Structure 1
Amino acid sequence: MDSFDEVWPILVRRAQEIECVETFSHGNENDVQYNESRDSIRFHSRATEADHWKDIQRKHWETAWDELQRTGELDRDQFLELTEMWRSSAAVPFLQKALNLPLDADNGRVFLPDEFSPGEVLVTEDSEPPSSDGSSTERTPTRMTTERFFGGVDDRVQYLCLTLQFVSEHEPTEADLINWILENTPAGAAGTVKRNLSFLESVDLLESTPEGYRTTNKGETFWKQDEPLVMYEGLATAVDGFREIARAIPSGDRTIEEIQHQLRRAYPDHKLPKGVVTKHLDWLESLELVTKEDGVYSIPIEGGNFEVGERYSRWFIHDVLKGERYKGIATPSELPLIFIFTGDAGRTYGYEDMFLEGDRFLYTGEGTEGDMTMDDGNKALRDHRENGESIHLFENTDMPWIVTYLGEYEYVTHRIDTLPDEHDNPRDAFRFELAPVGGTEIEIEGGTPRSLSDSELFAKAKQSSPSGSGGSGGSGGSRSYPRSEYVREFALRTADGVCQGCGEDAPFVSTSGKPFLEVHHLTRLSDGGPDDPENVIALCPNCHRRRHEGRDGDAFNRELREKARRRNERYL
């Protein structure tokens, strides 16, 4: 039944039936016995008696019906926003009874089944939704529906960010917060706002106090660090269905009907009209976790594709690609990928990871207690080539479950060092040396990087930068060198054996007979920095550690940038 022309006569007839059988008791002016619910239905039924009222009422109900068809659900506050009808408290119950629509009694909303028939079985306050075998089921602590918040798919994140900022700065009472939202967002009714506030509490962005509202840690991160992705964990843990959607889309279920089918299989006790499924997908679109084109949904990371320097929700990564959520080395079962995660928190468990010269990375294997063993994740790292798997390195941030992608790496070697375990006891620990995968090559005629003059070396290194026009592997009398060798040679040669951080001579002479200094990228390659002579400087090991581990590391790096700028002026 898609046409409102079919629906309207049913509503009129049902209203007239109620008018005939319901009675209303009114006393004198000082003692009026009043039943709001019945009077609301009476109001709607009386609109059928006069043509001018009938036309107005039909437009209101048709507007509400259009919204119900579009989203698959409707509640009292939405009805009021759409129609501005007075005394609409009984409008939705009336609609549910007149058309025998499924009712979510907890949230006071009706749903439009895909195969709509006025004979549908009702779900009322006194009955539980039947399970697939006909038996009743207990309610779970999670919810099945989301709230849209305000602003649509494109603007809701912006309005939510502003709302969280207001709460953070003012810790308003409920009344003040509702008024602020009504004045500063497209919200149309206080009831809708209250429902959205409850939803934001359930996904751990807000918390209520006896005095009012305040933001949670995730709520602070959302607006202060402009990182909406922190919301995904709350959605996935508080609202059923998000994990199933994350798995369904990569499996080939890409239309709303296919996704709805998978959710109904996962939750047979719920009717799950398209409106409910659409609201899940709308949130994923708003957070830019899924995309939609011509009604087909996709997930950018579903093939294991990541952008260096971009931030991702680790919770969502595992929902889409699987793998151990709480381990430092995760091995998704269905794709030839290995995810490794690094961060300062690992030191608590005896892990000590660090970047080495040439943007190589020293990664501590897995195992928190006792000697590490060469199995599970450790074995996967060592044998990734022969297993046809690629290693992807992520760095934890100070934001809950948010990680930065540092790039694809490959195993070079490993060693065994003595490190403390989580109980501070010494143990044998594997430390894997990993090298970044890829890198362009450039060629020079008749010589090596060290044979070039300073100006020639700078020019060749610039040629190999991403914005330059670097060549491919050579032939004949030409030799190819990784571009980093030219950049590295430039940094070391211009330093002339003196640390550019502290100004002291190199601490020792290497086995090659040259002063030992390390090449530091002012903006790391893994953060999107170029492998460019303007972006490197030579440091002693102590200054290099100061930059990455020191309390004043960022300020120190700014000083190094200025020194590099003055040096580069000689060659630009």
Structure 2
Amino acid sequence: MSFEHGLQPSDVLTNQELMSIFKCAMVGGMRFSHYANALVLISDHTKSLYDDRWIGNVFHYTGMGQVENQSLDYSQNKKLYESNRTDVTVYLFEVFKPNHYIFQGEVYLSDDPYQEQQLDKYKDPRLVWIFPLRLKNEQNEILIPTEFFKSRDSVQEKRAKKLAEDELIKRASRASNKPGSRMIVTKGYERDAYVSEYAKRRANGICQLCEEPAPFHTKKGEPYLETHHIEWLSKGGEDTMENTVALCPNCHRKMHSLNAKKDVEKLRAVASII
């Protein structure tokens, strides 16, 4: 019988709360709880040592051991390997943002573990064990905030940039052609359609940053420009004519990527002309 933890998929815990519930260790990616007779697996995407990932509906989880080749007989690796034949329950948490442990649910070993090459903490190549895991209750959709995914993506992008080309090719060749889908929670803002339309008419088909014509026309024959809030709504900006401009897609992406001071000042001057 599984431990009564009282958690629901997508619940977010702090490390202290996780320790309090399972009475497990404070650190580590594989924490055994004698109190719950459970193995708590933590995949921390904010750290770059292990290469855990979802492929379809299977989570490929890297075993325990930070240096040299990993062993299936070592510590919690053995517990996870034998978990389908024992009464140990296995739970999975993912971390996309420091100290935010998202509960995925109870998992089980869905296939035999396999080996692949990864780098250890000293950046030396070694063989690790990968455990294919599936959620026992797969019909539940886990809701993950967009900001958590962005944090995870940033870590992975930095990791990818550091790889030598041959290692990058090896890693890219393992990508699934049937990636799993994840439910992402986003925060939306209601925008005034009249403000948006005014900004586009004021631009008259010309990007208000690069001053080039719109890159293409819509099916209705209208120049395609996107409205942009100079002071972002997410940072307290107002949805007003004085804070809204019309940009080509390239400049719009540039503003959300760089938001250079000189560009902000130029757009403020443009938007001040009513």
TM-score by length of 1: 0.24
Q: Counting strand residues as a fraction of each chain, which structure ranks higher?
A: 2
Q: Counting helix residues as a fraction of each chain, which structure ranks higher?
A: 1
Q: Which has the larger radius of gyration?
A: 1
Bigger relative contact order (CA 8 A; separation at least 6): 2
TM-score by length of 2: 0.49
